[in-house]
Amino acid sequence: MSIATGLATAPIAEPQLAGLAVTAAMEKAGLTIANSVLLFLTPEFARDPKPALLAASRASNCTRIIGCSAAGIFTDQDWVLDAPAAAAMVFGGDISLAPAPQPLADDLILSLAAPNALNSAWISEPGRRFGGVSGDATGQGPFKVWCGGRTAENGRCETRIASASGVIGVSQGIRALSEPLEITQASGYDVISLGQQPAMNVLTRELPLDLRSENGLPLHLLMAGIIHGDPATAIADGRFRLAPIISANAEDRSVTLSARLAPGEQMFWAVRQPLAAERDMRLTIDRLQQELDAPPDFGLLFPCMGRGPYFYGGVDRDLDLVKQRFPGMPLIGFYGNGEIGPLDGANQLLQYAAVLGLFARMSAHV
Angle subtended by helix axes 317-325 and 274-292, to nearest 10: 30
What's the DSSP call for residue 197? E
Model pLDDT for residues 135-152, shown as the tens digit of each residue = 888 888 899 999 999 999
| Residues 181, 154 share a domain | no
What's the pLDDT score for residue 284? 96
Measured CA to CA in angstroms, residue 233 lies from 49, 179, 263 at distances of 46, 10, 21
> Is 206 in the same domain as 60?
no
The b/e string for 264-276 (b: 16+ C-beta within 10 A; e otherwise) is ebbbbbbbbbeeb
Residue type, 166: G
Average pLDDT over residues 180-196: 96
Res 366 pLDDT > 90: no
Above 90 in pLDDT, residue 208? no
pLDDT confidence tier of residue 363, bands split at 50, 70 and 90: low
Domain that holds residue 158: 3-171+277-365
* % of the chain surpassing 90 pLDDT: 86
264: left (phi over 0), alpha (psi -120 to 50) or beta: left
Phi, psi of 132 (to 5 degrees): -155, 175
What confidence score (pLDDT) does residue 215 get?
Answer: 67
> Which of 35-49, 211-225, 244-258, 335-349 comes out lowest in average pLDDT?
211-225
Q: Structural domain tally of the chain?
A: 2
45, 125: one domain: yes
Q: State whether 159 and 65 are in the same domain.
A: yes
Q: Which residues of 17-29 are buried (b: 16+ CB within 10 A; e: fewer)?
A: bbbbbbbbbbeeb
77 confidence band (pLDDT: 50, 70, 90): very high
The answer to whether the beta carbons of residues 53 and 149 sit under 8 Å apart is yes
Classify residue 93 by its DSSP letter. T
Of residues 282 and 217, more confidence is placed in 282
135 touches 305 (CB < 8 A): yes
Confidence check: pLDDT of 173 > 80: yes
> Residue 167 — pLDDT band, cuts 50, 70, 90?
very high
Stretch 76-82: mean pLDDT:
96
Is 157 in the same domain as 120?
yes
DSSP assignment of 48-64, as one string?
A: --HHHHHHHHHHHT-S-
Which residue type, as a one-letter code, is found at position 164?
Answer: A
Radius of gyration of the chain (CA): 21
User: pLDDT band for position 214 (50/70/90)?
Assistant: low
Residues 164 and 309 in one domain: yes
Is the model's pLDDT at 305 over the cut of 90?
Answer: yes
Higher pLDDT: 78 or 363? It is 78
Question: Is 156 found in the same domain as 89?
Answer: yes
Q: How many CA atoms lie within 13 A of 48 on its CB side?
A: 4
* Predicted confidence (pLDDT) at residue 125 exceeds the cutoff of 80: yes
If DSSP codes are grouped into helix, strand and coil, which group holds residue 238?
A: coil
Continuous segment of H or E residues that includes residue 347: strand 346-350
Q: Which among 213, 237, 271 is the end of a domain?
A: 271
Q: Quick one: pLDDT band at residue 365, thresholds 50, 70, 90?
A: very low
The conformational region for residue 189 under phi > 0 = left, psi -120 to 50 = alpha, else beta, is alpha
- Does one domain contain both 205 and 257? yes
Short-list 360, 358, 364, CA closest to 299 = 358
Closest CA to 35 of 63, 7, 66: 63
Q: Name residue 298's amino acid.
A: F
My answer on whether 240 and 334 are in the same domain is no
pLDDT at res. 220: 87
Q: What is the spatial order of strands in the sheet that 145-147 belongs to?
A: 3-9, 85-91, 36-41, 65-69, 145-147, 150-151
So what's the pLDDT on residue 345?
83
Q: What percent of the chain has pLDDT over 70?
A: 98
Q: What is the mean pLDDT of the chain?
A: 94
Rounded CA-CA distance 89/84 in Å is 18
For residues 274 and 280, what is the distance between their CA atoms, to the nearest angstrom? 10
- Whether 286 and 266 map to the same domain: the answer is no
| Residues whose CB is less than 8 angstroms from the CB of residue 313 and which lie 6 or more positions away in sequence, other chains included | 274
Quick: pLDDT tens for 31-65.
999 999 999 999 999 999 999 999 999 999 999 99
Residues 221 and 300 in one domain: no
Q: Which of 232, 256, 271 is the last residue of a domain?
A: 271
Do 303 and 343 lie in one domain? The reply is yes
Q: State how far the Cα of 322 lies from the Cα of 306, in Å rounded to an integer.
A: 18
CA dist 335 and 168 (Å) reads: 17
- Out of 232, 249, 271, pick the residue that ends a domain: 271
Strand pairing category for 174-176 and 266-272: antiparallel
What local confidence, expressed as pLDDT, does residue 238 receive?
85
